[in-house]
Homo-oligomer: A and B are copies of this chain.
Amino acid sequence: MREAPAGPDPEHDEDEHLGEDYALTAAFVEKVIDAADAGDGERLRDLLEDLHPADIADLMGFLTSEHRSVLVLWLSPHVLAEVLPELDDSIREQVLERLPSGALAEALQELDSDDAAAVVEEMEDDQRRAVLAAMPEQDRAAIESSLGYEEDTAGRLMQREVMAAPEFWSVGDTIDHLRAQGEDLPELFFDIYVVDPQYRPVGGVAVSRLLRSAREVKLSALMEPVNEIEVHQDQEEVAYIFEKYHLISAPVVDVGGRLVGQITVDDIVNIIQEENREDILRLAGVSDEGRDASVMGVVRSRIPWLIINLGTAVAASLVIGAFAEEIEALVALAILMPIVASIGGNAGVQAMTVAVRSLAARELSAANAVRIVRREVVVGFLNGAAIAVLLAAIAAVWFGMPMLSLVIGLAVTINLVAAALAGALIPMILERLDRDPAVASPVFVTWITDTVGFFTFLGLAGLILL
């Protein structure tokens, strides 16, 4: 624990709000909480003064909702505007509820249209109407048009502010235009899109390229092909295109092919992280609960999978029930059977995770599916044989029954081949059925490995041993 300074000392605070790992320090969060508890607005303002909006959003995540409400009152509309898009969904919802429509309308005007729309989207209907009504016509139209596109599409993601120029312009024309216009342009841009008379993109010029070219050079001589994004494309697909082709920005076109906006890579980084988070949580049977979820929120996010798991576990136990006589005859079977199921489950999860990830990265497709499944089965057999030898030896030492060792060795080998097949095929089948392989695969895979594990071990024991 770091020692807190004796008294308020803003100079010092500024240096210490971030730890070595660029996360907020516990000591700093503590100070903010103390100031909020004391209702000391001056001190709060001092503490927050030099924080980046992303750090303020981060700080909010570490506070309770009561402390958050105090904090929000001390943010200027300008800072608030930049903090809002950074907040986690659940926290943003809370914060929005407590802010008057006027202040919100003012704050949102400072944002690019995509960020403003992302905030408005989270509001309750009443508040949304009030906030939109309090905004200037042009800003309101931009937000409404953005909300007109479906969630998770390029249309939602794009900003409408974009820099376009006709082919016949020279570098000089473009620079003069940029210097004269100013206001309507995006705050930052990285490419200038060259458009034909129908406003369809025909190429792009990187800003740094424009800068180093002579004034008289025509844009048509500088431009390179661009990857057009269509407004209705899914954001996951957009992220894949950005990642694959290393894009910094891309033009968005409507169904008629006309330029209507642009998407920049900083939004894509967020999407990639969001998709990855979803995948990792789904594989564990958790829906995204957010860092600030209430106890009941967390319960709701996790219990569906537990109930499904209860179903598959009971189904697997029915298999055991069918062999009650064998277990009564030889209690060693009950002692060893969970080992067969457990290793099968782990091997299945390994194969399944590799398949789910390869599908997501588009590294696994019809073009190599057969090769991959064949490899998995061979690996399952080899790993199964290796584990079988070890496990048979352990069982021999433990129970001293050679035939029992043989049975458990055979069972574990068969179960690891089943695990390989299930782990590789189930995600591929779900993908083919247009389901998310990350959601349902784990249930099926462990159900199969449990069932096959119990059935082969107890069944072989019945045949060979008893």
A-side residues, CB < 8 A to B, are 21-26, 29-30, 52, 54-55, 58, 61-62, 163, 175, 178-179, 181-182, 185-186, 188-190, 206-214, 237, 240-248, 265-266, 268-270, 272-273, 276-277, 279-281, 283-286, 289, 291, 295, 298-299, 302-303, 305-307, 309-310, 313-314, 316-317, 320-321, 324, 327-328, 331, 334-339, 341-343, 346-347, 349-350, 352-354, 357-358, 361-368, 375-376, 378-379, 382-383, 386-387, 390-391, 394, 398, 446, 450, 454
A104 to chain B, nearest CB (A): 22
A283:B285 contact, CB within 8 angstroms = no
Contacts of A280 in B (CB 8 A): 276, 279-280, 283, 353, 357
- In-complex Cβ contact of A307 among B30, B206, B390 (8 A): B390
Q: Are A346 and B243 in contact (CB under 8 A)?
A: no
Q: Given that A214-B179, A367-B26 are contacting pairs, would A269 and B268 also be in contact in the complex, using a CB cutoff of 8 Å?
A: yes
Cβ-defined partner of A313 (8 Å) among B286, B309, B343? B343
Shortest beta-carbon distance, A219 to chain B, in Å? 13
Q: A324-B331, A346-B285, A347-B306 are in contact. Are A52 and B245 (CB under 8 A)?
A: yes
| Residue from B175, B241, B302, B366 within 8 A of A383 (CB atoms) | B302
User: How far, in whole Å, are A175 and B74 apart by their CA atoms in the complex?
Assistant: 42
Known contacts A289-B354, A299-B379; 7 further A-B pairs (Cβ under 8 A): A23-B365, A24-B365, A55-B244, A179-B211, A280-B353, A303-B383, A306-B387
- Among B265, B299, B320, which residue has its beta carbon within 8 angstroms of that of A266? B265
Of the candidates B269, B328, B367, the one whose C-beta lies within 8 Å of that of A328 is B328
A26 to B367 alpha-carbon distance, docked (Å): 4
Q: Is the CB of B299 within 8 A of A383?
A: yes
For the complex, what is the distance from the CA of A393 to the CA of B285, rounded to whole Å?
Answer: 24
Contact A26/B365 with A178-B212, A269-B242, A283-B280 known, Cβ cut-off 8 Å: yes
Inter-subunit contact A21/B244 (CB<8 Å): no
Given contacts A280-B280, A349-B285, contact A313 B335 (CB under 8 A): no
Which residue of the partner chain B has the closest CB to A23? B362
Contacts of A207 in B (CB 8 A): 190, 207-208, 211
**Complex contact B21–A362 (CB within 8 A):** yes
Name, among A54, A244, A379, the residue most crowded by chain B CB atoms within 10 Å (CB to CB).
Answer: A379
Tell whether, in the assembled complex, residue B214 and residue A190 are in contact, meaning their CB atoms are under 8 Å apart.
no
21 contacts between A and B (CB under 8 A): A22-B244, A22-B362, A24-B365, A25-B367, A58-B244, A61-B363, A182-B212, A248-B248, A248-B265, A265-B265, A272-B276, A289-B354, A299-B379, A299-B383, A306-B347, A309-B342, A313-B338, A313-B339, A313-B343, A316-B338, A320-B335
Q: In the docked arrangement, what's the CA distance between A364 and B214, Å?
A: 52
| B residues in contact with A307, CB < 8 Å | 387, 390
> What B residues does A346 contact at CB under 8 A?
285, 305-306, 309
Please indicate the chain B residues that have their CB under 8 angstroms from the CB of A309 in the complex.
342-343, 346
Once the chains bind, are B320 and A378 in contact (CB under 8 Å)? no
Most buried by B among A163, A306, A314, A338: A338
A341 engages B343 (CB within 8 Å): no
B189 and A208: CB pair below 8 A? yes
Q: Which residues of B contact A21 (CB under 8 A)?
A: 237, 362
Q: Find chain B residues with CB under 8 A from A279 CB.
A: 280
Which residues from B are CB-within-8-Å of A52? 244-245
Give 6 nearest A-B pairs by CB, closest first. A284-B353, A334-B334, A26-B366, A23-B362, A29-B367, A246-B266
How far, in angstroms, from A350 to B270 measured CA to CA in the complex?
Answer: 23
**A338's contact among B237, B269, B320, by CB below 8 Å, is which?**
B320
Given the complex, which residues of B lie within 8 Å of A181, measured CB to CB?
Answer: 212
Provide the residues of chain B in CB contact with A450, threshold 8 Å: 338, 342
Q: Are A375 and B339 in touch, CB under 8 angstroms?
A: no
A347 contact set on B, CB distance < 8 A: 302, 306
Which single member of B54, B188, B243, B305 contacts A245 (CB below 8 Å)? B54
Closest to A339 in B: B313
